Structures are given as structure tokens and as C-alpha cells.
């Protein structure tokens, strides 16, 4: 694990430096879906400080088993509004908000815990029918609607490109997301300050880093192929 971790960190570091970005501007979210609690604990002992989970039930089991571990929990999967209460209890950042209804539920639940829930908006840049994420032309309205909610805070944008056999093919998608973030910032919506771009996975994280990713979500390269 240590060697693999070091190698991934180095690749992130190199990709940042090569594109003129400070390496500390890019943080690794270790994607631990399907990975058992003991391996998650091992990864944390090797310096992983953010883990990403995709399924609420699976995350709850690990979250309970790993109470007190110095790690921040992120949710990266599709979240149903009726699971908002579990999500708010566990996650420091939810990457995958794509509707006002979900944001409103999160805000309502967060209020009960006197928490401000940090979220990202998942954008479907490539407009594949099957992918979750909001269409690009609806993002601005969604963010301004959400900005009126008292207990959620939009921190940035997230996207998942279609599966490509070649990492460079993801580049236009990543570039597009970065540009969209800038365009939204230019609108100067009160209380909205987007700092995060969650993009890049095992197959294309270096390309994402060179296009401005601040959070890369890496599973397979760290933990091996999932069942
Ligand atoms: C599973 C998953 C990842 C990690 O993908 P790898 O290719 O294993 O690195 C990243 N982001 C999301 C949203 C995922 O569901």
C-alpha cells in the first residue's frame, strides 16, 4: 500500500508541477467503495486523509467501524433525497448534488445538526442520457436557487466524463468544467464562492490535474480492480 500511495502522490505532484500549478492545490480523495474497513484504516495510516464512498449503506457500516479515524468522508455516488439524513451525518463534502430537491433536503437535515453542509454540483458535461448530473445550461439557475438555502454551501463543481480508452479524450470535458466554474464566479452570485473542481479518476487524473482539478477521486490505482 505504501509504495502504491507514494507513486500516486508523485504522479499527482508531477502533473501539477508540469502544468504550473502548486502541488498542494490538488488533493487526493481515495475512493474506498467495495474496500473493507481494515484496508481503509490501512490507507489512512499511510496518509490518506479523504475517502470517497458511493453507497450510503456501505458507507454507514465503515463509518461506524472506523469512528475516530482522522479522515474526512466524502460522498461521490448518486444520492437519493430520502437518504439525505444519513449523508449529512457522515460526509464533510457531497460531490454529487444535481437537483434543488436534494439540496433542499440536505439543508433541512443539516439544520437539525446545526451544520453547514458543503456540496459540489455534479455537471453532466457530455450529456450522456445515462449519467447523473445536471445539464450545463441549468447549472447557474440551480446554484442561484441553492444559494438561498441556509444550511448548504456550494463549494464547486464535479464531473464524470464518459468512459474513454484514452485519457486525453477527457481533456475537453475537464477544460469545459473549469471554464464553467469561472463563468459562474463571474456572475457574482451572493454567497457563492466556487473553489473546488472534483474531476479525474484512475484513468485520467493527470489530465484533470493539468486542467485545474483540486480534488481527484482515485480508487482502482490505489486498491486494485473492484469486484
Ligand atoms: C468509483 C468512482 C471513482 C474511482 O474510479 P477509479 O477508476 O477506480 O479510480 C471516482 N469517482 C466516482 C464518482 C466513482 O464512482
- Protein residue whose Cα sits closest to atom 10 of ligand 1: 217
Determine whether the shortest distance from the Cβ of 160 to ligand 1 is under 6 A. Answer: yes
Measure 33 CA to ligand 1 centroid, in angstroms.
8
Mean pLDDT for all residues in the chain = 96
Residue 62, helix vs strand vs coil: helix
Q: What residues have CB less than 8 Å from 65, skipping those under 6 apart?
A: 37
Measured CA to CA in angstroms, residue 212 lies from 13, 50, 93 at distances of 13, 19, 19
**Alpha carbon distance 18, 111 (integer Å):** 43
Which atom of ligand 1 is nearest to 33's Cα? Answer: 1
- Give yes or no for residue 201 CB within 6 A of ligand 1: yes
**In the chain, what is the greatest distance between 2 CA atoms, to the nearest angstrom?**
46
Confidence check: pLDDT of 41 > 90? yes
Report the nearest-CA residue for atom 11 of ligand 1. Answer: 217
C-alpha cell at 163: 468512459
Confidence band for 1, pLDDT divided at 50, 70 and 90: confident
Distance of CA 84 to the CA centre of its chain: 16
Confidence band for 218, pLDDT divided at 50, 70 and 90: very high
Is pTM, for the whole model, over 0.85?
yes
- 52 Cα–ligand 1 center, Å: 9
**Range 111-130 average pLDDT:** 90
Most informative mutation of 205, 219, 220 for ligand 1 (most atoms within 8 A of CB): 219
Q: Is a pLDDT exceeding 70 seen at residue 4?
A: yes
CB 214 within 8 A of CB 197: yes
Instruction: State if residue 96 touches ligand 1 by the CB under 6 angstroms criterion.
Output: no
Distance CA 75, CA 54 (A): 6
Look up residue 164 and give its DSSP letter.
Answer: -
Residue 172 and residue 33: Cα distance in Å, rounded?
27
Using only the alpha carbons of the chain, give its radius of gyration: 17
Read off the pLDDT of residues 86-118 as tens digits, 9 standing for 90 and up: 999 999 999 999 999 999 999 999 999 999 999
**Nearest CA-CA partner of 157 in 193, 112, 109:** 193
pLDDT in tens, 28-39: 999 999 999 999
The verdict on the CB of residue 76 being under 6 Å from ligand 1 is yes
- Inform me whether the pLDDT recorded for 131 exceeds 80: no
pLDDT at 130: 63
* Residues 25-52, mean pLDDT to the nearest whole number: 97
Q: Is 219 in the pocket of ligand 1 (CB under 6 A)?
A: yes
Grouping H, G, I as helix, E, B as strand and the rest as coil, residue 12 is helix
Distance of CA 94 to the CA centre of its chain: 7
Query: Quick one: average pLDDT of 135-142?
Result: 96
Distance CA 109, CA 118 (A): 13
Q: Is any atom of ligand 1 closer than 6 Å to the C-beta of 202? A: yes
d(CA 223, CA 155): 28
pLDDT digits (tens, 9 = 90+) for 63-91: 999 999 999 999 999 999 999 999 999 99
pLDDT band at 126 (very low <50, low <70, confident <90, very high): confident
Closest-lying ligand 1 atom to the alpha carbon of residue 202? 9
Predicted pLDDT of residue 42: 96
CB of 132 closer than 6 angstroms to any ligand 1 atom: no
CA dist 17 and 118 (Å) reads 28
In 53-170, where does DSSP find H-type helix? Answer: 56-65, 84-90, 100-112, 136-146
154 CB within 6 A, ligand 1: no
> pLDDT tens across 172-203, in order?
999 999 999 999 999 999 999 999 999 999 99
Amino acid at each position: 500500500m505504501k509504495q502504491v500511495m507514494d507513486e500516486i502522490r508523485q504522479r499527482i505532484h508531477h502533473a501539477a508541477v508540469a502544468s504550473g500549478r502548486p502541488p498542494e492545490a490538488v488533493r487526493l480523495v481515495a475512493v474506498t467503495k467495495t474496500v473493507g474497513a481494515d484496508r481503509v484504516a490501512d490507507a489512512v495510516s499511510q496518509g490518506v486523509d479523504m475517502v470517497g464512498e458511493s453507497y450510503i449503506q456501505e458507507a454507514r457500516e465503515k463509518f461506524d467501524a472506523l469512528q475516530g479515524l482522522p479522515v474526512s468522508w466524502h460522498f461521490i455516488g448518486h444520492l437519493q433525497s430520502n437518504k439525505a439524513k444519513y449523508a449529512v451525518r457522515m460526509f464533510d463534502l457531497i460531490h454529487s448534488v444535481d437537483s434543488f430537491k436534494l439540496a433542499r433536503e440536505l439543508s433541512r437535515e443539516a439544520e437539525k445538526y446545526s451544520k453547514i453542509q458543503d456540496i459540489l454540483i455534479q455537471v453532466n458535461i457530455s450529456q450522456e442520457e445515462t449519467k447523473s448530473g445536471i445539464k450545463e445550461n441549468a447549472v447557474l439557475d440551480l446554484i442561484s436557487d441553492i444559494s438561498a438555502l441556509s444550511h448548504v454551501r456550494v463549494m464547486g463543481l464535479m464531473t464524470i466524463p464518459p468512459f474513454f480508452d484514452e485519457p486525453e479524450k477527457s481533456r475537453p470535458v475537464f477544460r469545459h468544467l473549469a471554464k464553467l466554474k469561472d463563468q459562474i464566479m463571474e456572475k457574482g452570485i451572493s454567497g457563492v464562492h466556487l473553489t473546488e473542481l472534483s474531476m479525474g479518476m484512475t484513468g485520467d487524473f493527470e489530465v484533470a490535474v493539468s486542467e485545474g482539478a483540486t480534488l481527484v477521486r482515485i480508487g482502482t490505482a490505489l486498491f486494485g480492480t473492484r469486484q
